[in-house]
Structure 1
Amino acid sequence: MHVISWGSLAWCALPVVLISIVYARWSGKASEVLLSAARMTLQLVAVGYVLVALFNNPSPWITVTVLTLMVGIASWIALRPVAHQRDYLKPALIALSCSAGLHLFISLFLVIGVETWYEPRVVIPLAGMYFANTMNAISLAAERYHSELKEGKPESAARLTAFQAAMIPQINSLLAVGLVSLPGMMTGQILSGVSPLIAVRYQIMIMTMVLGSGGCGAALLLWQLGRAYRQHPNNPTEIDQPRNTE
């Protein structure tokens, strides 16, 4: 396995600089790209040290704490497009934790067959992938649902449109994998010396679980929002427009 030195890693700043130049030339906020890249680097380096400590000292309590923090942060980030809708936070928390938790259980106990469920080396990377993809699905669903209702669409039509929008990245990734791209986990395993045939099995698990987690998360969120909408059609804290009477 090739080890990337910190000096060689510095070349990764080149694409960041190129995109920043485009932003600056087109009167955009180049600082947004630079700050995001710097934050990403600091976060990953910090997480690297934290994971080393967790892997060396596995604990169910620490693992549960980390997973709880991940759920909370992912739910908060998912609602950025509709940040003014504070009543969306609870449904997002429920949708993300239930959906990703279910598929994490399937992966750990039914597919991999782990003996120790709280083993950080296994549960945290898987949870991170499931939380991140479910977060994106929830974010797309919430934004599209809110937009459709503001345009006066019936709730059932808004729900369907929102769910379809949330599933576009999931379906596209299934169609493209193996033909257009090799996913990150599979690529990392191959680079580390794992047989491609073994890496394929893990990637199939990841892809199917991500599909289910994202789809179930979006559906659960939309079901909760639809229920609240029907119960409080004229409550401005639920939706910023009166209920469509069609």
Structure 2
Amino acid sequence: MKARCFAVIPAAGSGKRMGAAIPKQYLTLLGKPVLQHTIERLLAVAAVERIVVALAADDPRWPALPAAFDPRVMTAIGGAERADSVLAGLRALAAEARPDDWVMVHDAARPCLRPDDVEKLLAELEGDPVGGILALPSVDTLKEVEGRDIVATVDRSRIWRALTPQLFRYRPLTESLERALAAGATITDEASAVEWAGRRPKIVEGHPGNIKITRPEDLPLAEFYLRQQT
């Protein structure tokens, strides 16, 4: 039976580094909230059957988004950390997702994702038993430091920057996150949980325009990339 594809968007964070009065996923970008752009990018991929958006329990802004009324979109209550929100989204899919179905986790603040990158990710990982992530090879010279002292130059040929979506089979991802969180492991993204559990995710090269809005200067950059795409 062909694996189906679901998506989880952790959107319960406050985005403190942005320094804005509202969470960064609700900042306006080309006339609509960042989160609306992000969801629309995933809805544009026919293979995505359902999207779960993990929200803060007291989120008052979600009901105003057009995405809140889309039949392919549902919500879950997120947690204090990204991994908690992702796990909440996975559990919300428990009645629908089979163990080998795909789940792609995508940052709420990455509104410039190209749908063809998602299709490339799905195509290249189609037969993989675990999954993988979109990423970019490092183009900068990387330094290892202690305090402010450089102690080594890192071989950048082995270094990639992790992006999202990160695409994994439902059961391996759920079990990896549950075990890692129970053990108190440091989980920065889904791949790190899967790696911690002893599995080896794959790398699929993405597009450099797939930026994450983290600081104020990222918002005009995201606007530039969106205008370039349209």
TM-score normalized by the length of structure 2: 0.25
| Structure ranking higher in helix proportion | 1
Larger Rg: 1
| Structure ranking higher in strand proportion | 2
